[in-house]
A and B are shown apart, each in its own frame.
Chain A
Amino acid sequence: MGGPDRPGHDDHNERREMLTMIVKRLAMAIPSLIGVVVVTFLLTRALPGDPAVYFAGPAATPQAIQQVRVNLGLDKPLIEQFGRYVVDLAHGNLGTSLTTGQPVATELRNRLPASAELTLLGLIVSIVIAVPLGIVAATKPNSLIDQACRVISTAGVSLPVFFTGLILVYVFYYLLGWAPAPLGRLDVFYTEPPHVTGFYLIDSLIAGDPGTFMASLKQLILPALTLAIFSLAPITRMTRASMLAVLSSDFVRTARASGLSAYTVIITYAFRNAMLPVITTLGMVFSFLLGANVLVEKVFAWPGIGSYAVEALLASDFAPVQGFVLTMAVMYVMLNLLIDILYGLIDPRVRLEA
Chain B
Amino acid sequence: MTPAPALSVEGLSVEFRTRSGAVRALENVSFRVAKGETVALVGESGSGKSVTAYAVMGILDPAGRVTAGRAMLGDLDLLAATPKELANVRGRKIAMIFQNPRTALNPIRPVGRQIADVLICHGNVSRRAAPAQAVEMLRAVGITDPARRAKAYPFEMSGGMCQRVMIAIALAAKPTLLIADEPTTGLDVTTQAVIMDLINDLAKELGMATIFITHDLALAGQRSARIVVMHAGHVVENAPTADLFANPRHPYTAELIAATPDSAASLDELAAIAGSLPDLRRADLPPCRYSERCPRKIAACAQPLPLAAPDAAHFVACWNPLPAQVVVAPTVSAA
Chain A residues near B (Cβ < 8 Å): 1-10, 141, 248-251, 253-261, 264, 268-269, 272-273, 346-349
Contact = CB atoms under 8 A, between A and B. Distances in A.
Contact of B166 (A1, A9, A254, A264): A254
Interface of B: 54, 57, 59, 61-62, 87, 89-92, 95-96, 98, 100, 102-110, 117-118, 121-122, 145, 148-153, 155-159, 161, 166, 169-170, 172-173
Contact of B106 (A5, A6, A9, A255): A255
Nearest to A141: B62
B91 A259 contact: yes
B170 A258 contact: yes
A5 B104 CA distance: 18
A250 B148 CA distance: 25
A1 B155 contact: yes
Nearest to A247: B62
Contact of B121 (A4, A254, A261, A347): A261
A1 B103 CA distance: 11
B152 A9 contact: yes
Contacts of A264: 117, 121
Contacts of A249: 103
B155 A349 contact: yes
Nearest to A252: B106
B134 to A, nearest CB: 12
A6 B62 contact: no
Nearest to B63: A141
Contacts of A258: 90-91, 95-96, 118, 121, 169-170, 172
Contacts of A2: 102, 159
Contact of A273 (B54, B107, B122, B157): B107
B122 A259 contact: yes
A257 B57 contact: yes
Given A9-B152, A253-B98, A254-B166, A259 B105 contact: no
Which 8 A/B pairs are nearest by Cβ-Cβ distance? A259-B91, A8-B152, A8-B151, A259-B90, A258-B91, A6-B156, A250-B103, A257-B96
A251 B156 contact: no
Given A258-B91, A259-B173, A250 B98 contact: yes
A3 B161 CA distance: 13
B121 A250 contact: no
A250 B154 CA distance: 13
A250 B166 CA distance: 12
Given A250-B98, A257-B98, A259-B89, 19 more contacts: A1-B155, A5-B157, A5-B158, A7-B152, A8-B151, A8-B156, A9-B152, A251-B107, A253-B98, A254-B98, A258-B90, A258-B95, A259-B87, A259-B91, A259-B92, A259-B121, A269-B109, A347-B107, A349-B155
Contacts of A256: 57, 59, 90
Contacts of B106: 251, 254-255, 269, 273
A253 B104 contact: yes
B107 A349 contact: yes
Contacts of B108: 272-273, 346-349
Given A4-B158, A255-B106, A273-B106, A260 B117 contact: yes
A260 B121 contact: yes
Contacts of B95: 257-258
Contacts of B122: 259
A8 B98 contact: no
B148 A8 contact: yes
Given A8-B110, A259-B118, A261-B121, A253 B59 contact: yes
B229 to A, nearest CB: 24
A258 to B, nearest CB: 4
Most chain B beta-carbon contacts within 10 A, residue among A8, A249, A256, A264: A8
A268 B109 CA distance: 9
B145 A250 contact: no
Contacts of B157: 5-6
Contact of A257 (B90, B107, B109, B121): B90
Most chain B beta-carbon contacts within 10 A, residue among A253, A258, A269, A349: A258
A7 B158 contact: no
Nearest to A349: B155
B98 A260 contact: no
Nearest to A260: B121
Nearest to A6: B156
Nearest to B83: A262
A207 B107 CA distance: 46
A259 B148 CA distance: 26
16 contacts: A6-B152, A7-B145, A8-B149, A250-B98, A250-B100, A251-B105, A251-B106, A253-B59, A257-B57, A258-B121, A258-B170, A259-B118, A260-B118, A260-B121, A264-B117, A273-B107
Nearest to B108: A347
A261 B158 contact: no
A111 to B, nearest CB: 40
A254 B156 contact: no
Nearest to A350: B108
A257 B59 contact: yes
Contact of B156 (A5, A250, A255, A273): A5
Contacts of A250: 98, 100, 103-104
Contacts of A7: 145, 148-149, 152, 156
Contacts of B152: 6-9
A261 B150 contact: no
A349 B161 CA distance: 18
A1 B156 CA distance: 8
Contacts of A272: 108-109
A251 B61 contact: no
Given A6-B156, A254-B169, A260 B151 contact: no
A251 B103 contact: yes
A328 to B, nearest CB: 32
Nearest to B87: A259
Contact of B151 (A10, A251, A261): A10
B289 to A, nearest CB: 27
A269 B105 CA distance: 10
Contacts of B153: 348-349
